[in-house]
Chain A
Amino acid sequence: MSKKVLIVDDEKDIVETLQFILESEGLECVVAYDGEEALSLAKTQNPDLIVLDVMLPKINGYKVCRLLKFDAKYKHIPILMVTARTQEEDKIIGEETGANEYITKPFDIETITKLVKKYLELT
């Protein structure tokens, strides 16, 4: 059975490209466009990995990440945080939220595929 990835970003274009890349790697994708949707899909769809943008409507990515990582039921799900911010402090916040990886925009599709594969142990 193919693994499931939850993609969260409020930019439709970015969601589409990410979805295309990951689906072409044979993964199943579900998508969310804001923090609230992300949380509910993370809880109902049992994704194997989440690609999570930071700047999100309703609930921001840091908070989504923290809420999942501090919940015993979901903390095993690897989270790759994606952000356009590069300030050092953002990186620190990212780490404190328990995210597994931290990727800055604009990202390489190769980098992202490699990281997703690594966390899904598909390599």
Chain B
Amino acid sequence: MSKIILVDNNLKRADKIHNLLAEFGYEVLLAKNGDEAIALTNENLPDIVLIDATVVKDNLSNICKNLKFYTQTNDIQILLLTDKDSSPDEILAGADGYITKPFSDSILIATINAHLRIKKLLDILYTNNSELAKSLYQLNVLYNTSSQFAGTLDKNKLLKIMNTGLEKSLKHSLCCTLVLDEGKPLLIINSSKSITEELLEKLKERILTNYLENTGEDRDDLTPEDLEVEINIRKSDETLTLDILDKDYLFSSINVADNPFGAVEIIRETEFTGEDITCFQTVVKQVSLPLESAILYEEIKEKNIKLEKLEKLKSEFISIVSHELRTPLTAIKSSIDIILTKKGGDITSIQEKFLSNAKRNVDRLSSIINDLLDLSKIEAGKMDYKFAELDIAEPLNMVISTFKPVADPKNIFIETNIPENNFPKIYGDCTKLEQIFANLVSNAIKFTHSGGKIKVTLELVDASNLDDTLFYKDPASINIKAGQKIKGEYLKIAIEDTGVGIAKEDIHKVFDKFQQIESSLSREVGGTGLGLAITKQLVDAHRGEIWVESELNKGSKFCLILPTARQESIFLLELDSKLQQSKQNHSCLALISIKNNNEYSKDVMEEVSNKIVNIFRKDDKSKFLIEDNIIKIVLSNTDKFAAKNVVKRIKKQFSKDMCESNQSNLTLGIAIYPDDAIVSEELIELSLKSTIPILKC
């Protein structure tokens, strides 16, 4: 029934209108003045307020404002009963319509009916608008929730985001989340008010029943007693009663990769609309994909930790075993030595021969142990490299002269003519380079027959002209960067012999561990089978490549190339070694790239690099690489927070200069080990990809 408030202080007149309206079936309330009218309006929410203009006089506009003050009263129709001489201004001061006195009953009723229709339409509009607003709000929450889902790989955080999203969009009183992925089944309850023991038991029972019905699973092990419960309560001074169980509820199971993961149930005092249901289902569906990633991520993390432990165990094992083997070996070796040096008296030539055999094998055993230790150190990333600029001819010639006395008795000629100070320097560790050359030269001597020849050469090459399909790639290595071609100046060292050679099908095996090619000769010459594997690793550490060209019974040619000491190769090697340090210290490393996106200008880059160098300490040049339009900076032994601070400092340094136009197109990218990537190439690539403008002009 439509409600009308009549405001009039003339009782006789009021009575007449009251009776007329009541006759037409309207509910009428009487107010004697403006204040009474406002109070009645707020209390009863009428459709129309009918005011006799003489009651309110000058105060009309104020009263109208107050009558329509609240959202619920905003659309109330105000009708004025005015005198003939009232000016239209007065009438329009906030009222919706007027009737001039004197008026007939039918005019009054007709006007009231017209405004009631307006009011009804306004009411419908209001409802639709608020529904739209609600949908918009839900959509907003949905959007926020799904973008938050993308931001984490933590299972518990995902569930929390889902619960917050549901609560914000659906304003439920109670939300139960059942988690069944692993360990004890868990029930998370988010409630607006505190919960009694009794209600908790009912809730447990209900969600399990719903879950089993919904998924069709048959699980006897799922009982309410087994549920571990986590309760979050917003207002603990109020308590929910059992009545809540009769209220409207929504239930959905959560599936992760088609496997049941758990379920969600929400309860609300007011009924859920169709849109609420869609919203609920969307949120619950949306959580399953990130949950799957989160679960997989956890698995990978666990496996990684296990693998790391295994790796550590392995290298510890090798180190301990090697140590334990050395002690008895020492006793054997020195005992044999004593007899062979005849300090203990004369021995027969046959005794001498067999003791010499024993001595040779003890020596071999001890070199196997040394190789094993070396390899385990390299593989554990514990090999220390002391890089410096050096002339490669020096270690090469040194090794050749050391091996001459071994080759001479076998009547093997080593042909070599390597001038010193004739080639560009390389950036390397001298001892490790000697080890590489010694391995290759001693191999050549071992596998070359008496009277053969070994040729060692050194030349400067352009790597882009080399056939990179020849390069040996360790199939187990994670450092393979497919399609990345090496470029620039390299020094190529070739050690060519006229020895037994390697069959085509065996060529790819020579750098594998314990892969000495089976032949009568290889058995005869001995060796550990680890030498070339170590050599390969050492060459890798220098960012070089190694390969072998060979023909059976004609000879082998082992080639290796090492980058010359150029700015970028030095930077890469320094980055490698800083990365290795970070791995060992479990610290972070950040790589920052600053790019000039304008055309290359030497002046700009010089200015920019000066500024960058100024920010950091000037002494450690290896931290920077300035190359065409890009400056790369390595921050080792850092953490994420410190790295972000450095970025801030760089930005500050550039903002001081107030947007010089030539520096306006600088961007900055950052990549952090171990968060973003774990190998140098990927860090560089990522830092170049992510770009934040340094200057905002």
Complex Cα spacing A76 to B323, Å: 31
Q: Choose from A13, A86, A88, A108 the contact partner of B337 (Cβ within 8 Å).
A: A108
Q: Choose from B324, B338, B362 the contact partner of A17 (Cβ within 8 Å).
A: B338
A115 to chain B, nearest CB (A): 14
Q: Which of B334-360 contact A (CB under 8 A)?
A: 334-335, 337-338, 341, 343-344
Question: Are B326 and A21 closer than 8 Å at their CB atoms?
Answer: no
Q: Choose from B327, B330, B335, B373 the contact partner of A86 (Cβ within 8 Å).
A: B373
Question: Are A21 and B334 closer than 8 Å at their CB atoms?
Answer: yes
A112 to chain B, nearest CB (A): 8
Tell me if A96 counts as interface (CB < 8 A to partner B): no
Q: Choose from B324, B334, B366, B373 the contact partner of A14 (Cβ within 8 Å).
A: B334
Question: Are B343 and A17 closer than 8 Å at their CB atoms?
Answer: no
B48 to chain A, nearest CB (A): 94
Tell me if B329 counts as interface (CB < 8 A to partner A): yes
Chain A residues, CB < 8 A from B330: 11, 14, 84, 105-107
Question: Are A109 and B341 closer than 8 Å at their CB atoms?
Answer: yes
Chain B residues, CB < 8 A from A84: 322-324, 326-327, 330
Tell me if B370 counts as interface (CB < 8 A to partner A): yes
Tell me if A24 counts as interface (CB < 8 A to partner B): yes
Chain A interface residue bracket vs B: 10 to 19
A16 to chain B, nearest CB (A): 8
Chain A residues, CB < 8 A from B335: 13, 17
User: Which 5 residue pairs spanning A and B have beta carbons closest together?
Assistant: A84-B326, A13-B331, A106-B330, A17-B334, A105-B330
Tell me if B157 counts as interface (CB < 8 A to partner A): no
Q: Choose from A20, A86, A107 the contact partner of B344 (Cβ within 8 Å).
A: A20
Tell me if B333 counts as interface (CB < 8 A to partner A): yes
Complex Cα spacing A24 to B335, Å: 14
> Chain A residue with minimal CB distance to B363?
A106
Question: Are B334 and A18 closer than 8 Å at their CB atoms?
Answer: yes
Q: Choose from B319, B326, B341, B344 the contact partner of A105 (Cβ within 8 Å).
A: B326
22 residue pairs A–B, Cβ–Cβ below 8 Å:
A11-B331, A13-B328, A14-B330, A14-B334, A17-B331, A17-B335, A18-B334, A20-B338, A20-B343, A21-B343, A24-B343, A84-B323, A84-B324, A84-B326, A85-B323, A87-B319, A88-B384, A105-B330, A106-B366, A107-B330, A107-B334, A109-B338
Interface string of A9-35 (1 = CB under 8 A from B): 001011001101100100000000000
Complex Cα spacing A24 to B338, Å: 10
Question: Are B333 and A106 closer than 8 Å at their CB atoms?
Answer: yes
Q: Choose from A17, A20, A87, A105 the contact partner of B327 (Cβ within 8 Å).
A: A105
Question: Are A106 and B362 closer than 8 Å at their CB atoms?
Answer: yes
Complex Cα spacing A106 to B373, Å: 14
Residues of B within 8 A of A (CB): 319, 322-324, 326-335, 337-338, 341, 343-344, 362, 366, 370, 373, 377, 384
A108 to chain B, nearest CB (A): 7
Chain B residues, CB < 8 A from A14: 327, 330-331, 334
Question: Are B329 and A105 closer than 8 Å at their CB atoms?
Answer: yes
Chain B residues, CB < 8 A from A17: 331, 334-335, 338
Complex Cα spacing A106 to B331, Å: 8
Chain B residues, CB < 8 A from A24: 343
Chain A residues, CB < 8 A from B332: 106
In the complex, number of A-B residue pairs with CB atoms less than 8 Å apart: 56
Complex Cα spacing A106 to B329, Å: 6
Chain A residues, CB < 8 A from B323: 84-85
A21 to chain B, nearest CB (A): 6
Chain B residues, CB < 8 A from A88: 384
B587 to chain A, nearest CB (A): 19
B528 to chain A, nearest CB (A): 16
> Chain B residue with minimal CB distance to A25?
B343
Complex Cα spacing A49 to B403, Å: 36
Chain B residues, CB < 8 A from A110: 337
> Chain A residue with minimal CB distance to B362?
A106
Question: Are B370 and A86 closer than 8 Å at their CB atoms?
Answer: yes
B385 to chain A, nearest CB (A): 11
Chain A residues, CB < 8 A from B373: 86
> Chain A residue with minimal CB distance to B341?
A109
B357 to chain A, nearest CB (A): 17
Contacts A13-B331, A17-B335, A109-B338 known; list 20 others, CB within 8 Å. Answer: A14-B327, A14-B334, A17-B331, A17-B338, A21-B338, A84-B323, A84-B324, A84-B327, A86-B370, A87-B319, A87-B377, A105-B326, A105-B329, A106-B330, A106-B366, A107-B330, A107-B333, A108-B333, A108-B337, A109-B337
Q: Choose from A20, A106, A109 the contact partner of B326 (Cβ within 8 Å).
A: A106
Complex Cα spacing A87 to B319, Å: 9
Complex Cα spacing A86 to B382, Å: 13
Q: Which of A86-107 contact B (CB under 8 A)?
A: 86-88, 105-107
Chain B residues, CB < 8 A from A106: 326, 329-330, 332-334, 362, 366
A7 to chain B, nearest CB (A): 12
Chain A residues, CB < 8 A from B362: 106
Chain B residues, CB < 8 A from A108: 333, 337
Most chain A CB inside 10 Å of its own CB: which residue of B319, B343, B344, B370: B343
Most chain B CB inside 10 Å of its own CB: which residue of A17, A85, A87: A17
Most chain B CB inside 10 Å of its own CB: which residue of A18, A88, A106: A106
B435 to chain A, nearest CB (A): 14
Chain B residues, CB < 8 A from A18: 334
Chain A residues, CB < 8 A from B329: 105-106
> Chain A residue with minimal CB distance to B325?
A84
Complex Cα spacing A18 to B322, Å: 22
Most chain B CB inside 10 Å of its own CB: which residue of A13, A21, A105, A110: A105
> Chain A residue with minimal CB distance to B366?
A106
Most chain A CB inside 10 Å of its own CB: which residue of B323, B377, B384: B323
